[in-house]
Amino acid sequence: MGGVNRAWTQGEYRVRFDWGPAGAEAVGAGAAVVAVVDVLSFTTTLSVAVDGGIAVRPYRWRDESAERVARESDAVLAVGRRQAVRPGQVSLSPATVRRSAGIERLVLPSPNGATIAAGLATAGATVIGVSLRNAAAAAVWASRRDGAVAVVAAGERWPDGSLRPAVEDLWGAGAFLDALVRRGAGPLSPEAEVALAAYRGIDSLGAALAACASGRELHEHGFPEDVAIAAEVGASATVPVLVDGWFVADSSP
């Protein structure tokens, strides 16, 4: 934890929240469970995959090393979202995964959610993937584990590579926190309280997802179905848990 101020870890609280890779390093320190939230689209795609029995390897970039890992693991490597033009090709788009067949293992690169998850795994954390689709189920799973729970909103990137806080991830984190609180979890850090309040202040998540910056961007690029799938609140009862580098479905208590 070199260079991380102790105050940034939110260590006084059993339920914590922060943003991006640096936030994950801070609040994930010592947590029993770290929930990674990347609604548009890594953790939504992840939830669709594990619902279909697909194991997912989070990866930082789609490069030669990703190709090697996929080849050595007898896995499919996801292509870029706009490159998935042939039937059966899968990408970070959850719609492509939903339409796929015969895939058992998928290497899924993402500069945000997958990168954070992969980094946390190397630090020894128990990592779960949370989206609006499975937030309630994930909260049940996490609430039955001892110790602190850290929630990390992945966010997006500005053109210069800096973190762009993405409101859809704030809502996804808030949905998870709401379900945790309803099961008696706490105390929440002030940062977690803000995420919870943001979620509780939304009347229609579907409409909000379509209207937010990331949702509009996907619509403009021709992926409205991805936004609709992300808005399937509570549709999944499975929890993607990172085990030996692969997210696998865990529906056990």
Contact 152, 191 (CB under 8 A): no
State pLDDT tens for residues 79-104.
Answer: 988 877 677 789 999 999 999 999 99
CA angle 20, 180, 8 (to 5 degrees): 35
What are the angstrom distances between the C-alpha of 45 and each of 37, 76, 93, 112, 115? 11, 14, 6, 13, 15
Q: Which of 163, 152, 141 is nearest to 240 (CA)?
A: 141
Domains in the chain: ranges and CATH: 13-250 (3.90.1560.10)
pLDDT per residue as tens, the chain (253 positions): 457 888 999 999 999 999 999 999 999 989 999 999 999 999 999 999 999 999 999 999 888 999 999 999 999 999 988 877 677 789 999 999 999 999 999 999 999 999 999 999 877 789 999 999 999 999 999 999 999 999 999 999 999 999 999 999 999 999 999 999 999 999 999 999 999 999 999 999 999 999 999 999 999 999 999 999 999 999 999 999 999 999 999 855 5
Closest CA to 47 of 92, 84, 80: 92
From residue 16, give the alpha-carbon distance in Å to each of 56, 71, 148, 180, 196. 26, 37, 8, 12, 11
Q: With left for phi above 0 and alpha for psi between -120 and 50, is residue 241 left, alpha or beta?
A: beta
Q: Report the sign of the C-alpha dihedral through residues 176, 181, 186, 187, in that order.
A: positive
CA 242 to chain centre: 12
